[in-house]
Amino acid sequence: MSFPAPDLPVSALALRAALRTGELSAREATTAVLARIDASAALGAFVSVAAEQALAEASAADERFARTPRDEREALPRLHGMPLAHKDLTDVAGHPTTHGSAALPVSPARQDSPGVAVLRTAGALALGKTQVPEFGLTGYSENRIAPPARNPRDPERTAGGSSGGSAAAVAAGILPVAPGSDGGGSIRIPALACGLIGLKPGLGAVASDLARGPLDEFGAPRLTVSGPLARTAADAALLFDALRGAPGEPAVAAVARAAELRGLRIGVSAASPFESAHPVPLAPEARSAHTRAAELLAGLGHRVEEAEIRYDPRYPHAFGTGWTAGLSLLKLPRGADERLMPLTRLFRDRALARAHEEHLSAGRRLRAFAADAREQWGAYDAVLTPGLAMLPPRIGAFTELHPDDDYRLQCEWAPFTSMVNVAGLPAIAIPILRTPAGHSFGVQLIGRAGSEETLLQIAEQLTAS
C-alpha cells in the first residue's frame, strides 16, 4: 500500500502545535507517517502496521477537532492526533502482540495496556507495533518473528534493544517520538546506539509502572519503567508529561528554562558493577564522549568532580539470576520451548532448575545493592557515566554466539545501565559526539529520585552546547 506524503514539522512539539491549530489534520499526519513506514521497511523498525485502523482513528480525531469551537481548542488532548507506535511487548486494542516470540499463540489484544491507555486518552494514535527482542530480554532487537531492527546511522549494525524498533523509527524520522520501556537499559541502550535522547524515569514516576507493586515475584526491585525516546530534550519532555498525565506540562516548561540551571554537583565515574566478572573496556570514542560531557557541564556552571564509587562484586551473579528469574513463571504450550530463541531457552531452563530460595536470595542481594548505590550516588545531584562501551555490534553478532557469550557481550557493550533499574532511580541517555563515519557516542546521567525534569534540562544544555 502506498500513501502520499505531506511534509511534517520536524519536532514533536511543532507537530503538536500544527495539529492543535488545524494547520495539519490528524489524517494528513497519519498518512505521512504511514508513507514513511512504507518507504523505510528495510530498517526493520515495525513488526506490524494497522493502517486502516489508524486512519479511522485519525478521522475520528479530525471530527472531534471540527466540533470543537476555535476558542476551546486549547482544551483538546495534549497529543491530539499525534501518530505514535508501541513496542510489540505491550497490548494495543485490536493489534496482535507477539512479545517478539515464535513460541506464543498470537491474537489481537482485547484492550490497551495501562500505558497505552494513558497515551490514547492524551489523544495519541496507534499506528502499529515496533520490533523487540523475545520477551524484551536482550539489548538488541532480533527475533524469529520479523526482520531485525537496524540502526539508521549504520544499517549493518543493531539499533539496540529492547526498544530497538522504536528507536530506529524515531532516529530515521519516521515517528516524531516514541514511548519505550526500560528494564535494564532498554530505552537508554537504543537511544545511545541511535543518537537519541532516552529518559528512563524513576520507578513510580509514571504511575502505571507500579501497577504490580515495587517488588517482583521474588522480592527483587521492580525493574521496568516507561519513558520517551526523542530527537530533542523538549520532545522527550512532551511525551514524558503525557505518559505521567502531568497537568500543566512541567517537564516541557522546565526544558524551556534549561539555560537557568546552574551549580549542580555532578560526580564523574566510569566504574561498572560488572567489572568484578569481566573487563569493561571502553572504546576511545566512549571515553572521549564521557570526557567531553564533563567539560561541557563544567563550562555550563556545574561543579564537576571525580566520584569514588565502588560496587558489590556479587552484583553480576545477583543481576543475572534476578533478570532471568521471571522466565521460570513463563507458561508455554507443549513443545513451544523449541521455538524459543537460544538465549531465552537456555536461561529459562536454568531459571526453572534453580531452587526458589536462590531466586529469593538474588532478590535480597539486589535490594541491598539498590540501597548502597542510592546512598553513594546520593552524594551528588547527578552522576555522569559513559554510555555504551563500544560501537553497536553488527546484526547477528550476538545471536551467532553461545547464549552465555551473547549475554557477556551485552554486559560489555552496556555495562552502566542495569544498575540504575535495580536502584529505581531516573537516568537519561544523551548523545555527545558523532564519529566521522556517522556513529553516535553519548553518556548517561543518573539522577536522584524525582529529578527527571532536571535530567531533561541537563540534556537540553548538553545538546545545545
Question: Percentage of the chain surpassing pLDDT 90?
Answer: 97
**pLDDT value for 145:** 96
The DSSP bridge pattern shows strands 197-200 and 225-230 to be antiparallel
Separation between Cα atoms, residue 221 and residue 347, nearest integer Å:
20
**pLDDT value for 6:** 64
Q: What is the DSSP string of 58-110?
A: HHHHHHHHHHS-GGGGGGS-TTTT-EEEEETTS--BTSB--TT-TTS---BBS
Sign of CA dihedral 43, 48, 53, 54: negative
**pLDDT value for 3:** 42
Q: What is the DSSP string of 238-275?
A: HHHHHHHT-TT-HHHHHHHTGGG----EEEE----GGG
Hey, what's the cell of 369? 545493592
Amino acid symbol at 255? V
Task: Kindly give the residue spans of alpha helices, DSSP state H, lying in 215-355.
Answer: 233-244, 250-256, 284-299, 315-325, 342-353
Catalytic residue positions, numbered: 87, 162, 186
Identify any residues that bridge with 86 across adjacent strands, giving them in sequence order: 129
Separation between Cα atoms, residue 261 and residue 458, nearest integer Å:
8
The residue ranges of the chain whose pLDDT is under 50 are: 1-4
**pLDDT value for 465:** 79
Separation between Cα atoms, residue 21 and residue 117, nearest integer Å:
24
Q: What is the DSSP string of 11-39?
A: SHHHHHHHHHHTSS-HHHHHHHHHHHHHH
- Nearest CA to 295 among 286, 304, 287? 304
Pick the CATH number of 12-464 from 3.30.360.10, 3.90.1300.10, 3.40.50.720, 1.10.490.10: 3.90.1300.10
Structural domain spans, the chain: 12-464
**pLDDT value for 211:** 87
Does the pTM of the predicted model rise above 0.95? yes
**pLDDT value for 2:** 45
Separation between Cα atoms, residue 352 and residue 334, nearest integer Å:
16
Residue 194 contacts by C-beta under 8 Å, 6 or more apart in sequence? 151, 152, 153, 159, 160, 167, 168, 170, 171, 440
- Nearest CA to 259 among 38, 463, 20? 463
**pLDDT value for 5:** 54
* Backbone phi and psi for residue 288, each to the nearest 5 degrees, phi listed first: -60, -40
For residue 177, give the DSSP letter.
Answer: E
265 CA to centre of own chain: 26
